[in-house]
Amino acid sequence: MTGIQELFDLTGRTAIVTGGAGFLGQQFSEALIESGANVVVADINQRIASESAEMLKRNGGEAIGVALDVTEPSSVKQLIVSTLEKYSGIDILVNSAALDPKFESDSKTSHVTSFEEFPLQSWKEALDVNLTGMFLTCQAVAKVMKEGGKGSIINLCSTYGISGPDQRLYESLGEPRLYKPVYYTVSKAGVLGLTKYIATYYEGTEIRCNALTPGGVERDHDPAFKEAYGKRTVLGRMAYPHEMKGAVVFLASEASSYVTGTNLIVDGGWTAW
């Protein structure tokens, strides 16, 4: 298989997307379906997971929705059971589930706490989802992949896992003063460590593990924020949601068969300055 179409073709492969009903999770699921994969949309409750799967099916794809709490080992175990009941194996895992509260939505209140006052409980909850949850899904899926000696794991990082957030961007969002929370950078930096550990652990097999690092993706952001953010990137703008689709298919497919332990940064040059 060396033709370029074949290298990107995912026909017959099965992919699990955790956080698959989320903003980017939907893009990842769509991209995998469009490349021929069966997609298991796994998210915090059955309703949103099923709705997303139904949407993918309406567009001609093969998908199921499964309720998943990544922090619960029994729930992760059930995800594997439900997937293998429907499909014959697991070829791709996209770990997109995370606590990543958005500034532009009604979750603004979770951004008002300064570092000095940041609650221990919020720190623990976020590390539990963003890092421990990813560890649990990687562990469970790798066990299945090990049987076939092959698979691709893609862990979602962030530019804020590579460098600290530019808190000046959030200052402009009005009163009270807002901050990107400390757990976000710490958990996303941890994702890179987990990714390298898994990649090297499976030496000598075709089980690959890579990180995918998006920069800020445009949605209903405050226009002043969008402009200020854009100026921090080389391309002068935030990403469009579809601009993450190519990267996930590349890492999931044979097109990246010699790529493991790396971090694919799709950030419009944010980290290149």
**Which CB sits closer to ligand NAD, 113 or 271?**
271
Please give the backbone phi and psi of residue 220, each rounded to the nearest 5 degrees, phi first.
Answer: -85, 55
Q: Are 30 and 41 in contact (CB under 8 A)?
A: no
3-class DSSP string for 18-32:
ECCCCHHHHHHHHHH
Q: Which of 66, 69, 180, 249 binds ligand NAD (CB under 6 A)?
A: 69
Nearest partner of 272 among 239, 236, 234, judged by Cα: 234
Confirm or reject binding of residue 190 to ligand NAD (CB under 6 A): no
Q: Which of 9, 30, 43, 91 binds ligand NAD (CB under 6 A)?
A: 43
For residue 268, is it left (φ>0), alpha (ψ between -120 and 50) or beta? Answer: left
Least distance CB 267 / ligand NAD (angstroms): 8
Among residue numbers 104 through 163, which ones bind ligand NAD (CB under 6 A)?
Answer: 129, 133, 156, 158
Confirm or reject binding of residue 21 to ligand NAD (CB under 6 A): yes
Confirm or reject binding of residue 55 to ligand NAD (CB under 6 A): no
Q: Are 128 and 185 in contact (CB under 8 A)?
A: no
Confirm or reject binding of residue 214 to ligand NAD (CB under 6 A): yes
**Which CB sits closer to ligand NAD, 18 or 35?**
18
Distances (CA, A) of 34 to 57, 179, 245: 11, 37, 10
Binding site for ligand NAD (CB under 6 A): 18-19, 21-25, 43-44, 68-71, 96-100, 129, 133, 156, 158, 214, 216-217
